[in-house]
Amino acid sequence: MPKTRAQKAEIIAKVADRFKSMKAAAFSSVSGYTMVQADALREKAREANVDVFVTKKTLLRLAAKEAGLPDLSSDVIEGSVLTAVAYGDEVSAAKLLKALTKENEGMTLLGGILEGQMIDAAGVNRLAALPSKQQLLGQLVGVLNAPVSGFVNVLAGNLRGLVTVMTAIKDKKV
């Protein structure tokens, strides 16, 4: 049954609100997508603070226009489109759809939106290859902690050497 104008306007407003509050979005084709996969994807998306939805291309374009985003041209969005919108981490939507397209050979990445700019499928692949924000923060802490750890190890090395010499002297006398 076709949707009424009011239903379409409601969908456009809802998607535009998602686009306005997002950090990044990724688009994928939906061919060969089963309900079992959809349920698993929704569960993973919930954990990653990502919204996943399928919307008609025309409504998606109108919502992007209403949200002040660049035009989603027909060369980027083709066929049935699965949209993942990330709110917390910029790479989470791309990672989610990249994993999904690896599992399903019929699905392909189409493109995405990052910082209000359109990116192509290669850009989404590069974005998905980046570590998450938590991983980057952990690496930063490790880099900042490395000089301190090295200094502590140097200071402890002298004590270890002294203990080793004292133990050797004790063993020699006994």
Read off the pLDDT of residues 123-161 as tens digits, 9 standing for 90 and up: 888 988 888 888 888 888 888 888 888 888 888 888 888
**CA-CA distance, 57 to 81, in Å (whole number)?**
7
Kind and range of the H or E run holding 155: helix 133-173
- Note the pLDDT of residue 31: 75
How much is the pLDDT for 74? 64
Whether this model's pTM surpasses 0.85:
no
List phi, psi (to 5°) of 139: -65, -40
Assess if CATH 3.30.70.1730 describes domain 5-130. yes
Per-residue model confidence as pLDDT tens digits over 80-101: 788 999 988 888 899 999 988 8
The residue length of the chain stands at: 174
Question: Can you tell me which residue has the tokens 């050979």?
Answer: 105
pLDDT tens digits along 47-81: 888 999 888 888 888 888 888 888 877 666 777 78
| The two structure tokens encoding residue 99 | 């994993």
pLDDT score, position 13: 92
Q: Which SS3 state, helix, strand or coil, does residue 130 take?
A: coil
